[in-house]
Amino acid sequence: MGATLRAVRALVLLAGFYLLGFVMLGALVAVDWAVAEGGVGSVTAKVWIVSALLAIPLVQGMFALRTPKDEPLPGLPVTEQQEPALWAAVRALAEQTGTRAPDEILLTPDVNAAVAEDATFLGLKPGRRRMYIGLPLMTGLSEPQLQAVLAHEFGHYTNHDTRLAAITLRGRLQVMRTVAGLHERSRRKVAKEEAKQGKKHAERLAKGKKASEVDAGAAGLSYRLAAKPFLWYGTFYLRASQGVGRRQELAADLAAARIAGRDATASALREIPVLDAAHGFYMQSYATLGTAAGLLPPPGEVFGGLRHLLAGRADELDEMRRALPEEEQSPYDSHPPIDERIARIEQLPHDDNALTGARPALALLTDPARSFAELEHSALTPEAQRLRRAADWPQLVNESMLWHADQDAEPLRAAGTEVHGGDGSLAAFLDAVDAGRLWEMADRLPKSKEAQAATGRATREFVRPQVRARLSRMVVAELARLGRAHWELSWKDAARLRLPDGYEEELKQALDAAVADVPDTKGLRRLLSQTD
């Protein structure tokens, strides 16, 4: 489907929304006229009021022509003087695809590349172009793979997808705005009715009378019914517009294969889901590990540290590349399944573009370390930027894990202070245990439903594992402060607790003794008093 036909289709879909709105308004006018002809004054007034209330959100949705502008993606703008190699590569791709180069390039903290255009007149007039390139994406791709990704994005420019998207977006926003307005009025009616009934029921209870449950009944029903036609149209609108979107993606894939080569395009498509999963895991398990403790990775490593994970888990990531994710196709998906896209590309004739020996995509940047550091200033929130920076990754991991150990032990510390007093230290807790207060303290810990229902000795058996686990964390934290334990950074596995030789078995036995039916803290005290 050519750009002109797609523009006509998008305009027809948008016009359908307004047509539906005028039909709805016409129906309301017809009902008002019919009731007025009946001649019952009180009924006529009520129907007119309801019609007016229904018409307000309809008109607001239909004629709120100024759509809110999209929030700009967080990113680091780079000029041609700052990144000449990157700009040269982007301009070369624009020339090969036969389209205008972007006016701006922004580096982002995502595993993504995207293009946007500030088109006007519902996208019919071209505007300023921006290209977004994720630094984490560049971290995991080779230069030919990145070229394939960017050529795909330029394919959207060539097909006028970025311009015509404005028309489709307008229709989606108008449908959602109208439905949201009707449902909001419905919620207000329901809340008002529930508040009214709740007040009456409270008065009945105050008089010692029985009160039934609050039931809003049919309150707000007319608004919900009025929203249904727009929901139906919105469903149709999404199916129609997303179908076009899927075809646009396939066309952009072909443009990428023509420019960057079949193998580079197929391998990039395989790489992106793997890289996206690795990036998500890295951000959750490494980059933000210390945020609760008020700690961030060293400068430039919040996003740049991903390269350590990719190197450390190369074998695991290779397995993920070989096993493509299974995706269930939905009629509302804007992209075809990744395996379908790869299969289409791999069916193309072989070309002479080779991947072996290709440079990493980050080689296109003048100074990648500087770019990662500067991106943090653009992408991190002011609150995050005020956090303390670790000197290196080992310090980040050790201090963060120590903080988490203290948090895990805190309920036990609080229980010890509440039952036996003291300063909340491990020594004070052990004193409370020696005083025979262990199970009193254990009784103040959070309990599962099974533990709450248990009685007698069964209660102790339910709570004993929790007491032991929290006491273990308290002891380990104390050993870390004494310099006899630390958590070791690993890019292949979770952080590992390191204890001196012989401590692990001794600690296990000492903890078992401390939470026995007749507690004995001698083993723990001996362990804590040892010197290297």
The confidence score (pLDDT) of residue 525 equals 93
What angle is formed at CA 333 by the lines to CA 71 and CA 13, rounded to 5 degrees? 75
Express the helix, strand and coil content of the chain in percent, nearest 5 each: 65, 5, 30
SS (H, E, C) 337-371: CHHHHHHHHHCCCCCCCCCCCCCEHHHHCCCHHHH
Mean pLDDT by 10 residues, the chain (532 residues): 54 68 75 68 67 66 51 81 96 87 93 77 64 96 94 70 49 60 68 72 67 60 64 67 66 84 90 94 96 96 96 92 66 67 86 75 96 95 95 96 95 93 91 93 86 78 92 95 94 93 91 94 90 59
**How many whole angstroms separate alpha carbon 144 and alpha carbon 329?**
29
- Nearest-CA neighbor of 102 among 112, 113, 91, 89? 91
The confidence score (pLDDT) of residue 175 equals 62
Q: With beta carbons less than 8 A apart as the criterion, state whether 262 and 351 touch.
A: yes
Amino acid identity of 300? G
pTM of the entire predicted model? 0.73
**How many whole angstroms separate alpha carbon 362 and alpha carbon 189?**
57
Report the SS3 class of residue 500.
coil
Tell me which H or E stretch contains 503: helix 503-514
Dump the DSSP string for 51-87: HHHHHHHHHHHHH--SPPPPPPPP-EEE-TTT-HHHH
Sequence-ordered list of residues with C-beta below 8 angstroms from that of 495, at least 6 positions apart, any chain: 397, 401, 487, 488, 489
The residue length of the chain stands at: 532
Dump the DSSP string for 215-268: --TTTTHHHHHHHHHHHHHHHHHHHHHHHHHHHHHHHHHHHHHHHH-HHHHHHH
**How many whole angstroms separate alpha carbon 137 and alpha carbon 139?**
5
Distance from chain centroid for Cα 472 = 34
The confidence score (pLDDT) of residue 185 equals 66
Task: Report the relative pairing of strands 388-389 and 129-134 from DSSP bridges.
Answer: unpaired
The confidence score (pLDDT) of residue 205 equals 67
Query: Alpha-carbon torsion 152, 154, 159, 160, what sign?
Result: positive
Distance from chain centroid for Cα 235 = 24
Q: With beta carbons less than 8 A apart as the criterion, state whether 154 and 107 touch.
A: no
Report the SS3 class of residue 486.
strand
Structure tokens at 196: 């009214």
The confidence score (pLDDT) of residue 223 equals 61
Query: Alpha-carbon torsion 380, 386, 390, 391, what sign?
Result: positive
Structure tokens at 18: 């307004």
Tell me which H or E stretch contains 496: strand 496-498
The confidence score (pLDDT) of residue 225 equals 63
The confidence score (pLDDT) of residue 292 equals 94
Q: With beta carbons less than 8 A apart as the criterion, state whether 169 and 265 touch.
A: no
Dump the DSSP string for 362-417: GGGSS-HHHHHHHHHHHHS-HHHHTSEEPSSHHHHHHHHHHHHHHHHHHHHHHHHH
User: Exposed, middle or buried: residue 68 (CB in 10 Å: 0-12, 13-18, 19+)?
Assistant: exposed
Structure tokens at 164: 């015509």
**To which residue do tokens 């040892």 refer?**
530
Q: With beta carbons less than 8 A apart as the criterion, state whether 464 and 512 touch.
A: no
**Residue 304 half-sphere exposure toward CB, CA atoms < 13 A:** 19
The confidence score (pLDDT) of residue 356 equals 66
Amino acid identity of 33? W
Structure tokens at 483: 């310099």
Tell me which H or E stretch contains 125: none
Q: With beta carbons less than 8 A apart as the criterion, state whether 416 and 429 touch.
A: yes
Beta bridge partners of 125: 120
Greatest alpha-carbon span in the chain: 100
What angle is formed at CA 290 by the lines to CA 288 and CA 292, rounded to 5 degrees? 95
**How many whole angstroms separate alpha carbon 380 and alpha carbon 369?**
16
- Nearest-CA neighbor of 341 among 93, 152, 162, 116? 152
- Nearest-CA neighbor of 152 among 250, 6, 234? 250
Beta bridge partners of 488: 496
User: Exposed, middle or buried: residue 183 (CB in 10 Å: 0-12, 13-18, 19+)?
Assistant: middle
**How many whole angstroms separate alpha carbon 43 and alpha carbon 39?**
9
